[in-house]
Amino acid sequence: MTADILRRGRLNGVQNEQIVAFTSSMEADRWIFDADMLVDKAYVVMLSHQGIISRDDASGILSGLKTIEKDGIGVLDTSYEDVHIAIEARLIELTGENTGGRMHSGRSRNDEVATCIRIALRGELLELAECLVKLRSVFIIKADNHVDTVMPGFTHLQHAQPTTLAHYLLAHACALERDFERLTDAYKRINLCPLGAAAFASTGFPLDRDYVCKLLGFDALLENSMDAVSTRDFIIETLGVCSNLMVDISRFAEETILWSTSEFGFIELADAYSSTSSIMPQKKNPDISELLRAKTGSVHGALMSVLYICKALPYSYNRDLQEVTPHLQKAVGITKSAVSITTDMLSTLTVHKELLHQKSTSGFSTATELADTIVRVTGLPFRLAHHVVGSAVREGNLDFAKIIEIGKKVTGKNLEDIGLRKKDFLEALDPLLNINRRNIKGGPAPGECTRSIIERGNKLSDDQHVIQQRIQALDESKHTLDTIVDTFETHL
């Protein structure tokens, strides 16, 4: 390493390897290297635009940055504290201090790193949003294939009432729709520009913050310069979004684990999404689902870590904040891969329709409809009908004669005399009729599920459009910045 451009003025002596390894973020900064190149370019263009550095110096810096970008982070000196200072040191090596030494005018690594994280994160979140769109679409398509697939529904993991597989899949699709909304909403608070805040007190150089904000494709400024460098609320928010999303993924993963046991036997996962045992040759294990369940814990851990790091941290910048970024990077990466792996796992699993149908009435799952029917045809209050049917189930016998017998005991009336016919009784126990009757908004009746499928599909195309627009806006701003940077090259 040539003389350390950061420490040479104020500090004496070289730090030993242990201290460097403890303090440096070089490894984690791989995640923000591309973002930093963008930030440096836009910043230099703005400095020149404002006459803070000469156009010649800007040209020299921009061509040095191009070389650094081409060579990649791998050739940078890893003994520096972070990528920002390593890039600047390399720039000075390439262009001389009289040119490269001007890049950091009016800037601090505090506003620089905050800007880089936001740029790297917005790109990752748009990719995550695209993955989520695909996952939602598979849930919706599968639901459409299973509008008539009757299955048992559970509460407390006990057989509860019959439903359809479409209804179940739509429940997950609705949860993921909200996850998507949270994600796109968080994006609005992520895509804000801290650059120009400098260390925290802004700068006396006449920076044009709005111009550099636009060059970098941000939607607006993060105005207050102390807030801009201090806050990591957007990271906590993102991790909150990922945590919720992973809860939803883990609940589905858990169901694939349960449902593929021989006790349930509802589904079979594709071989690709299964493992076997090194000793028990017969085994087919749902390891991928188990890892989805476990990785959810890692994402929640990241949220907790960041909350604890940020809690009670005095304003403005503290080096503690450096420790936040790797948690974000890891959690977003896990969430993205979890969403895309769940998509393929869902689309390749096999559903055992006959067994689902067969099990849909076990555990007296039509008892609620029987109580409802008694209410509708006899006018008895629901609580009494509930008592009658509950007592019959307790005796393990849900036949017509038993209902009449218990009805007399509980109400003092013959239910047949007050309107309960055997036909009403039998219909109430039919799982298909149960489902067809549940045709109010959000219910499992096939017609209602089909309506919901269409609505979910329309919402999905709108959401897809929003994401494409955001991706396009970022591409355009990057293209504009590249074009401006090219005009500097011709100037050389």
Catalytic residue annotation:
156, 277
Q: Which position among 184, 289, 322, 378 is part of the footprint of ligand ARG (CB under 6 A)? A: 322
Q: Kind and range of the H or E element at 163?
A: strand 158-164
Q: Residue 110, interface with ligand ARG (CB under 6 A)? A: yes
Query: Who's near 420: CB < 8 A, 6+ residues apart?
Result: 373, 374, 377, 378, 403, 404, 407
Q: Please report the DSSP string for 318-342 in residue order.
A: -GGGGGTHHHHHHHHHHHHHHHHHH
Give whichever of 123 and 326 is closer to ligand ARG, judged by the CB atom: 326
Q: Which position among 10, 156, 311, 319 is part of the footprint of ligand ARG (CB under 6 A)? A: 319
Q: Are 196 and 225 in contact (CB under 8 A)?
A: yes
Stretch of 47-55, 66-74, 106-114, 177-185 lying at the interface with ligand ARG (CB under 6 A): 106-114
Q: Which position among 260, 325, 335, 411 is part of the footprint of ligand ARG (CB under 6 A)? A: 325
Q: Is the peptide bond before 202 cis (omega within 30 degrees of 0)?
A: no
Give whichever of 6 and 384 is closer to ligand ARG, judged by the CB atom: 6
Q: Residue 306, interface with ligand ARG (CB under 6 A)? A: no
Q: Which position among 173, 321, 338, 474 is part of the footprint of ligand ARG (CB under 6 A)? A: 321
Q: Which position among 25, 149, 163, 256 is part of the footprint of ligand ARG (CB under 6 A)? A: 25
Q: Residue 232, interface with ligand ARG (CB under 6 A)? A: no
Give whichever of 109 and 214 is closer to ligand ARG, judged by the CB atom: 109
Round to whole Å and give the CA distance between 77 and 286: 44
Give whichever of 25 and 115 is closer to ligand ARG, judged by the CB atom: 25
Round to whole Å and give the CA distance between 11 and 19: 15
| Closest by Cα among 306, 301, 308, 176 to 243 | 301
User: Could you identify the residue written with the tokens 């994006």?
Assistant: 187
Q: Which position among 41, 107, 109, 214 is part of the footprint of ligand ARG (CB under 6 A)? A: 109
Round to whole Å and give the CA distance between 331 and 182: 16
Minimal distance in Å, beta carbon 319 to ligand ARG?
A: 5
Task: Name residue 153's beta-bridge partners.
Answer: 161
Stretch of 94-102, 105-113, 368-376, 452-460 lying at the interface with ligand ARG (CB under 6 A): 105-113
As a dihedral over the C-alpha atoms of residue 164, residue 167, residue 173, residue 179, rounded to 10 degrees, the angle is: -130
Stretch of 159-167, 320-328, 346-354, 449-457 lying at the interface with ligand ARG (CB under 6 A): 320-328
Q: What residue spans of 232-366 are helical by DSSP H?
A: 233-259, 287-310, 325-348, 353-359
Stretch of 72-80, 274-282, 321-329, 435-443 lying at the interface with ligand ARG (CB under 6 A): 321-329
Task: Name residue 352's beta-bridge partners.
Answer: none
Q: Residue 44, interface with ligand ARG (CB under 6 A)? A: no
Round to whole Å and give the CA distance between 100 and 230: 28
Stretch of 14-22, 269-277, 284-292, 319-327 lying at the interface with ligand ARG (CB under 6 A): 319-327
Q: Which position among 57, 82, 179, 463 is part of the footprint of ligand ARG (CB under 6 A)? A: 82
Neighbours of 192 (CB within 10 A): 20
Give whichever of 156 and 319 is closer to ligand ARG, judged by the CB atom: 319
Q: Where along the sequence are the contacts to ligand ARG (CB under 6 A)? A: 25, 82, 109-110, 113, 317, 319, 321-322, 325
